[in-house]
Amino acid sequence: MSGSTIAIIIIIVALLVILFTSYVKSPPDKAYIISGLRKTPKILIGKAGLKLPFFERKDELLIKQISIDIKTDDYVPTLDFIGVNIDAVAKVKIRTDEEGMQLAMKNFLNMKEPQIMEALVDSLQGNMREIIGTISLKELCNDRKSFGDQVQEKAQVDMNRLGIEIISCNIQHVEDQNDLIIALGQDNMAAIQKNASIAKANADRDVAIAQAQARKEANDAKVLSDTEIAVKQNELSIKKAELKTIEDTKNAEADAAYEIQKEAQRKTIEVTKTEADIARQEKEVDLKKKEAEVMEQSLDADIRKKAEADKFARQQQADAELYKRQRNAEADKFEKQQEAEAKKAQAEAELFAKQQEAAGIRAVGEAEAKAIEAKGLAEAEALEKKAEAMKKYGQAAMVEMIVKALPEMAKAIAEPLSTIDKVTIIDGNGEGSGVGSMGSYVPQVLAKTMESVKEVTGIDIADIMRANTYDAKVNKNVNITGLDGIKVEAPAEAGTSVDTTVE
């Protein structure tokens, strides 16, 4: 065998090995994703393809139908605030369209069935909880298919983002927190039993009436038959009596025998008729007694059923009122808790506001205290400066103060006159005109005030003013002492000496 032949054989074997290892075939419930060399992965579903070793990779995507058990795990309130626990089953599968496969490859590639179920169950449970809050308990029990369709429709929006299609959603089991579903069933069952009992009682009554009617007709027929028999027998007896009379007329004793036989036959007929009447009356009494018994049983059944129905209705009403009171009590408790929390928050806010206000007041008080302290210091310093100035300038300062105070004193004295609206002067009291007296009012009161000051304090304001005049300085010797240790001396005229001491 030549070298070229061996090389060809080796190449063929290598190609066969590559072809064998590259061949892949996906089952119908899985999708093989071939990626590596292509920009867009190749998807194989239920068909065969090639995967180049070392250059491409194969991933799996489960596309079969998956059943997911959806449970609420606890009681979720419905639209009418009744807690329910629901067990449902959703059947899902990965979408095989292009968009669905692209989304599913990003989320569920190489995942097993339990992993996919675990990834989807939370979203499905959340959507089912949301739908439970929008439907009442009665609607949930009466139309489970509609509830499942709503859950499927709402959950499909979220599933589309994951590349999942929801095939169906079926409710397996529903139970409520307070067994209200059983109570509703018992209510319907009681109504059905009540209707059935009433129908049975009516049927029994109709049967009893029909039986009584049949017995009456049978009795009437029997009485009629007995009567006809008695009539026939009577006719037969009469016929016999007639034959006997004919026979007796032929005999000597025919008349007496005929009378005797006639009375006997009449007596027999009357007894027979009386017995028939008694039998008929007894039958009628029995029939009426049976009818009364049937009527009594029917009434007893109706009354008993009605009493049971009324008792059940009252019990249901009492249960409903108890539930209503419980809900009202819970609502009142919740409102009181909210109100207490609101009051607590308001009290804390008011406390904080008062603390801030107190801090502001404290700051204002401290500022005012500092201002008052500063003002007092300033006033004290001003008074001290003023005292030093007065001490320095002595009499001149005192004179200046007195001169400044005199107009204020005159103004205070004249102030009452400003309140007089109208003045009528009648007589000057023999001492000049009234106008003059009115005009001298202020100087006179001012002079008396200065004298009162002298009597109280010993300070003679007039002497102080005169001490500073030319006459006091040149012609008189006026001395004023006692004003802060200041002694005022003035030359006196012709040896006159004036010594004024102010203490």
Q: What pLDDT sits at residue 398?
A: 62
Structure-model confidence comparison of residues 397 and 241, the more confident one: 241
Other C-beta atoms closer than 10 Å to the C-beta of 180 total 19
pLDDT tens, position by position, 310-319? 888 888 888 8
For 281-293, letters b (16+ CB in 10 Å) and e give eebeeeeeeebee
Residue 115 pLDDT level (bands cut at 50, 70, 90): very high
Quote the tokens at residue 470.
Answer: 């030319």
Structure-model confidence comparison of residues 449 and 150, the more confident one: 150
Q: What pLDDT sits at residue 475?
A: 56
Lowest mean pLDDT among 4-13, 64-73, 120-129, 396-405: 396-405
Q: What pLDDT sits at residue 231?
A: 85
Asked if residue 474 has pLDDT above 60, the reply is: no
pLDDT tens, position by position, 134-175? 888 888 888 888 888 888 898 999 899 999 999 999 888 888
Residue 420 pLDDT level (bands cut at 50, 70, 90): low
Nearest-angstrom CA–CA distance, 167 and 109: 21
Query: What are phi and psi for residue 84, nearest 5 degrees?
Result: -130, 150
Residue ranges per domain, the chain? 3-60, 64-177, 186-340, 395-501
Q: What is the CATH number of domain 64-177?
A: 3.30.479.30
CA distances from 322 to 248, 325, 328 (A): 100, 5, 10
For residue 483, list its beta bridge partners. 486
Nearest-angstrom CA–CA distance, 171 and 85: 11
Query: What are phi and psi for residue 500, nearest 5 degrees?
Result: -110, 125
CA distances from 199 to 192, 194, 309, 457 (A): 10, 9, 15, 128
367's CB contacts (< 8 A; 6+ apart) are none
Asked if residue 476 has pLDDT above 70, the reply is: no
Lowest mean pLDDT among 97-106, 229-238, 364-373, 388-397: 388-397
Question: With contact defined as beta carbons under 8 Å apart, do 487 and 480 qualify?
Answer: yes
pLDDT tens, position by position, 17-53? 776 677 788 888 888 888 887 788 888 888 888 787 7
Q: What pLDDT sits at residue 189?
A: 61
Residue 492 pLDDT level (bands cut at 50, 70, 90): very low
204's CB contacts (< 8 A; 6+ apart) are 297, 298, 301
Q: What is the mean pLDDT of residues 43-70?
A: 85
346's CB contacts (< 8 A; 6+ apart) are none
Quote the tokens at residue 65.
Answer: 């139908």
Asked if residue 130 has pLDDT above 80, the reply is: yes
Question: With contact defined as beta carbons under 8 Å apart, do 275 and 229 qualify?
Answer: no
pLDDT tens, position by position, 379-406? 777 777 766 766 665 556 666 666 667 6
Helix (H) or strand (E) segment spanning residue 497:
strand 497-501
Question: With contact defined as beta carbons under 8 Å apart, do 140 and 78 qualify?
Answer: yes
For residue 70, list its beta bridge partners. 88
Quote the tokens at residue 104.
Answer: 């599913």
Q: What is the mean pLDDT of residues 187-196?
A: 65
Q: What is the mean pLDDT of residues 323-328?
A: 84
Other C-beta atoms closer than 10 Å to the C-beta of 164 total 26
> What's the predicted TM-score (pTM) here?
0.35
**H-type helices in 34-161, by residue range?**
98-108, 113-132, 137-142, 144-160
CA distances from 412 to 246, 406, 407, 418, 441 (A): 177, 10, 9, 10, 13
Winning range, highest mean pLDDT, from 333-337, 365-369, 484-488:
333-337
Asked if residue 424 has pLDDT above 60, the reply is: yes
Residue 495 pLDDT level (bands cut at 50, 70, 90): very low
